[in-house]
Amino acid sequence: MTMTLPVATPEDTRRTDRTDRIVEIVQRQGALAVLVVVVLISFATFPNFRSFDNTATILVAAAPPMLIALGMTFVILTGGIDLSVGSLYVLGGVLAAWASQFGFVTAFAVPLLVCGAIGVANGLLIAYTRMAPFIVTLAALLGARGLMRAISSEGSATFLVQSDAFRRLGNGSFLDIGYQVWLVAGLVVLGIVLLARTRFGHAVYAVGGSEDAAALMGIAVRRTKIWVYVMSGLLAGLAGAINAAKLGSGVTVLGTGMELDAIAAVVIGGTLLTGGAGTIAGTIAGVLLLGVIQNLINQVGNVNSNWQQVISGTFLALVVVAQTYLVKLRRVS
């Protein structure tokens, strides 16, 4: 190339650059900032909150939702949604408890296989029939819940975890922090690398940003979509298994609304529901924020725990409004 003519004058660039950077920081780190503030206030107000044990409790409780939200982040980044994860979470727990009689490995393998397969089905349907993810995964939600009720005789049969090794995973700890927290932390780090530093991760952003453009740029749109639903299914199943290990049985009444909590956490973490923008770091902040709010309500003691949902809901609405505004601010007119 021989010639150059400036396309944007330096002044324009500098001005929009600064607005951009501020908007980007708010969008990316907003949830984290709120989390820090909430934690600091709690530290000052509630003596019990300060204890190391309480922190460990929050983290253990947040482990399964974190896994589900991790998968959901990928799905939402492609512009999709996965409503089936709450059902898969319960199904995974029941299957893990049942399969634990055959040993530690099967306790993991069975829920992962079944939930992964449902994820494959979701992905194939969404990628090839172009049906709305909302409908496809709603069908999976109903199907998986039915399957769970069928194998647990209408939810009345409770499978107790038989494998000691599997039970230890749910109750043992390393450096006084539960094993499951370490496992989840490891997977989250993997997720971050996958999203930010691999071609697959960039394809996820591209598909969510503009599916048609991504296809024209030679991105394997279908394959990308299938994979995110498979990941989401696997992570939901794993979350169920971890929870079963902690509780010592496959509890059939959990998980209702888990998918909505996960979506809320992802959105609070700054990921756009329309896809194409967001980070896992944001999702971590979102999950922890919801967890901390829950924990605080428990600390206060005499408050009805349903207030937690009121607070989370209000917060979610605020975030969405703020995001809409930020996105507008960012768009060059």
Partner 1 sequence: MLEVLDVSKIFPGVRALDRVSFRLAAGEVHALVGENGAGKSTLIKVLTGVYQPDEGELRYQGEKAQFGTPMDAQHAGISTIYQEVNLIPQMSVAHNLFLGREPRNRFGLLDEKRMHHEAREILAGYGVTADVKRQLGTLALGAQQMVALARAVMIDAKVVIMDEPTSSLEPREVETLFGIIRDLHRRGIGIIYVSHRLDELYQICDAVTILRDGRVVHTGKLAELERIKLVSLMLGREMSGSFSAFKESDPEVSDAPPVLRARGLTSRRKLHDISFEVRPGEVVGLGGLLGAGRSETIKAIGGAYPLDSGDVQVDGVDLKKPTTVRAVKAGIAVQPEDRKAEGIIAGLSVRENIALAVLPQLSRFGLVSDAKIDAIVEKYMTRLRIKASGPGQLVGDLSGGNQQKVLLARLLATGPRVLLLDEPTRGIDVGAKAEVQSLIDELAAEGLGVVLVSSDAEELIEGADRVVVLRDGVVVGTLTGAEVTTEDLMATIAAGGNQ
Residue 41 near partner 1 by CB under 8 A: no
Residue 11 near partner 1 by CB under 8 A: no
H or E element: which one contains 313? helix 307-330
295: helix, strand or coil: helix
Among 63, 68, 75, 203, binds partner 1 (CB under 8 A): 203
Give the nearer residue to partner 1 in terms of CB position, either 149 or 330.
Answer: 330
Among residues 213, 214, 237, the alpha carbon closest in space to that of 224 is found at 214
Among 175, 176, 212, 253, binds partner 1 (CB under 8 A): 212
Residue 5 near partner 1 by CB under 8 A: yes
Give the nearer residue to partner 1 in terms of CB position, either 130 or 331.
Answer: 331
Burial 223-235 (b: 16+ CB within 10 A, else e): ebbbbbbbbbbbb
Q: Which of positions 271-330 make contact with partner 1 (CB under 8 A)?
A: 272, 276-277, 330
Among 124, 139, 158, 202, binds partner 1 (CB under 8 A): 202
Among residues 198, 232, 196, 200, the alpha carbon closest in space to that of 214 is found at 200
Selected range binding partner 1 among 87-95, 192-200, 226-234, 303-311, rule: CB under 8 A: 192-200
Among residues 33, 4, 11, 49, the alpha carbon closest in space to that of 269 is found at 33
d(CA 156, CA 95): 15
Selected range binding partner 1 among 13-21, 81-89, 141-149, 183-191, rule: CB under 8 A: 13-21
How many residues belong to the site for partner 1 (CB under 8 A)?
42
Give the nearer residue to partner 1 in terms of CB position, either 177 or 192.
Answer: 192
Residue 193 near partner 1 by CB under 8 A: yes
Asked if 159 and 97 count as a contact pair (C-beta separation under 8 A), the reply is yes
Among residues 39, 60, 287, the alpha carbon closest in space to that of 177 is found at 60
d(CA 213, CA 19): 27
Residue 189 near partner 1 by CB under 8 A: no
Which parts of this chain interact with partner 1 (CB under 8 A)? 1-8, 10, 12-13, 16-17, 20, 24, 193, 196-199, 202-203, 205-206, 208-210, 212-220, 272, 276-277, 330-332
